[in-house]
Amino acid sequence: MRTQIEGSLAVAQAVAACRPQVICAYPISPQTHIVEGLSAIVKRGELPGCEYVNVESEFAAMSVAIGSSAAGARTYTATASQGLLFMVEAVYNASGLGLPIVMTVANRAIGAPINIWNDHTDAMSQRDSGWIQLYAETNQEAADLHVQAFRIAEELSLPVMVCMDGFILTHAVEEVDVPEADDVARFLPPFAPRQVLDPADPVSIGAMVGPEAFTEVRYLAHDRQMQALELIPQVAADFAEVFGRDSGGLVHPYLTEDAETIVIALGSVLGTIKDVVDERREKGEKIGVLGITSFRPFPLRAIEAAIGDAKRFVCLEKAFSVGIGGIVASHVRMAMSTHPIKNYTVVAGLGGRVILKTSLHEMLDKAVTDSLEALTFLDLDTDLVERELARTRADRRSGPAAENMLRDLGTVRAASV
């Protein structure tokens, strides 16, 4: 049913429509509204046969999920930011054990400095965790991806992370056609686990594996992600058949066919980028957009095909690998390894920094003339940075950088200094 609804609540309702049997909940912004929504749904009795477990940490949330999934129950949890990092050991364990847990990551920055606003540093830190990672562009897609995630996870016996931008999506109220339980039942079969704890047929799950087979176990994890490259588009096609709309898949190309410049990004910023590209197209510039929905597995061939004969690509990234630069860009360069083209990494939107159309235009003006720095930090306040660098050069005990810079900005009162 189409309704004006907050992104988090739409996701909560979509997850409920998938009939999860165990939901583990721990609060962290900006994910909290999702588990609050599910709490109300379970408490009202609208999900009979669902256990809602209020745990004591994200580490416990993922651990409870591991136990319940291994026992054969459809399992869901949600987290963000520090919470995702707090559960990392269990995140890797869930994928290593091949447990089809679905988890929302309401993308948020990682501290220090502590920051509750959106970027992709949290999910990107888990790109090697063995989980499938899907990034939602809109709240509609966020809701839809959860329904698809359960199907993908359970088919491959792999966990799936559905990443949606914190606040920008989770807290935005807009029209969403929330998947309904009847339709979901036609799309998502009951959970039939590939491995299960069963006293009538006891197995050991999580046994130790040494050098004699560890490589093979890890290889099979990779192989299942490669299978996901085939499965994800199939699931999206099946979804379109039942629900009548396109959601998910590996990539979302937009005006790429004749494009000389392609801007690549993940998540909600694609909307802003498309507006900018539309404006530039009106002026006759051959520019397109490539949205990556599936970051794990990374669809090398689909991206190579979408880039086609473009002259350059610009990766706009809400995270970066400190000490080297763009994460997505390095992946895309791998996709283009047989015929490399010019490329630029633009780090933007860190810790909730607003990504403005004017800034994007300014950046793209340089990109299309190949005068952009290979690694650019969009709207970086260089004066602020220079003042702090000067302080560190002048004074051994220059103090905490974050507070110094807030003082420079007047956010922290300078009186005490």
Partner 1 sequence: MTTHDTTIDPSIDPAGYHRGLIPEVVHHEPATKPVKFYQVGSFAVGNRLLPLEVRSVQSDPNRTNALTSGHRACQGCGEALGARYALDAAMHAADGKIVAVNATGCLEVFSTPYPETSWRVAWLHSLFGNAPAVASGVAAAYKAMGREDIRVVAQGGDGGTVDIGFGCLSGMFERNDDVLYICYDNEAYMNTGIQRSGATPPAARTATTQAVGDEPGNVFGQGKDLPRIAMAHEIPYVATASVADLRDLEAKVHRAMSMRGARYIHVMVPCPLGWGTAASDTLQIARLATQSGIFPVFEAEYGEVVASSPIRRQVPVEDYLKGQKRFAHLFKPKRRDDVIARMQAQADRNIRRYNLLPQGGSPDAPEATEGSL
Q: Applying CB under 8 A, which of residues 206, 308, 399, 400 lies at the interface with partner 1?
A: 206
The Cα 44–Cα 22 span in angstroms is 16
Q: Which is nearer to partner 1, 52 or 254 (CB)?
A: 52
Is 215 an interacting residue with respect to partner 1 (CB under 8 A)? no
Contact 287, 364 (CB under 8 A): yes
Q: Is 50 or 292 the residue whose CB approaches partner 1 more closely?
A: 50
Q: What angle do CA 206, 210, 214 make, to 5 degrees?
A: 75
| Comparison of 197 and 402: residue with beta carbon closer to partner 1 | 197
Residue numbers 275-334 binding partner 1 by CB under 8 A: none
Shortest CB 55 distance to partner 1, Å: 6
Convert residues 178-197 into a mask of x (bound to partner 1 by CB under 8 A) and - (unbound). Answer: -------------------x
Residue 225, number of CB atoms within 10 A of its CB: 19
CB atoms near residue 32 (< 10 Å):
18
Give least dist CB 144 to partner 1, A: 25
Which residue in the set 29, 31, 63, 294 belongs to the binding site for partner 1 (CB under 8 A)?
63
Contacts of 171 (CB under 8 A, 6+ apart): 6, 7, 8, 30, 33
Binding status of residue 255 toward partner 1 by CB under 8 A: no
Q: Is 227 exposed, middle or buried (0-12, 13-18, 19+ CB in 10 A)?
A: middle
- For position 203 contacting partner 1 by CB under 8 A, the verdict is yes
Interface stretch with partner 1, choices 149-157, 206-214, 227-235, 343-351 (CB under 8 A) = 206-214
Q: Which x/- pattern, by CB under 8 A, does the window 8-47 give for partner 1?
A: -------------xx-x-----------------------
Stretch that binds partner 1, among 3-11, 179-187, 207-215, 223-231 (CB under 8 A): 207-215
Long-range (24+ apart) CB contacts under 8 A made by 182-189 are 183/17, 183/242, 183/243, 184/14, 184/17, 184/18, 184/19, 184/147, 185/19, 186/242, 187/147, 187/151, 187/238, 187/239, 187/242, 187/243, 188/18, 188/147, 188/150, 188/151, 189/151, 189/154
Q: Which residues bind partner 1 (CB under 8 A)?
A: 21-22, 24, 49-51, 53-57, 59-60, 63-73, 75, 89-90, 93, 97, 197-199, 201-210, 212-213
